[in-house]
Amino acid sequence: MFGRKERAALASLDPLHRGLIEQRTLSAVLQPPAWRTLVDALVHPPPELRKAKHQVPPRTMEIVVPLVRLLAADVDDDAWLGLTVDLRGPGVPDKQGTPRDLPPQPPALKVVEQLARDGWLAVDAQLRHGGRLRLGVVDDVRLRTITKRSASGKRKIKRRQKATERVRVRLTPPKGVAPIVPHSTPRWLTVTAKDGRRPSVAVKAAYPIDRMQPAHQLQTILQVIGEAHRCVPWEPDQDTAADPGAAS
Across the strands, what pairs with 157? 147
Model confidence pLDDT, tens digit, residues 7-34:
899 999 999 999 999 999 999 999 999 9
**Is the per-residue pLDDT at 2 higher than 70?**
no
Residue 140 is which amino acid?
D
pTM of the model: 0.88
- Determine the Cα–Cα distance for residues 36 and 91; give it in Å rounded to an integer: 31
Nearest CA among 5, 1, 2, 4 for reference residue 46: 5
pLDDT band for position 238 (50/70/90)?
very low
Contacts of 113 (CB under 8 A, 6+ apart): 99, 100, 101, 102, 142, 143, 144, 145
Query: Is 203 strand, coil or helix?
Result: strand
Mean pLDDT of 105-131: 95
From the list 98, 161, 133, 97, the residue with the least C-alpha distance to 221 is: 133
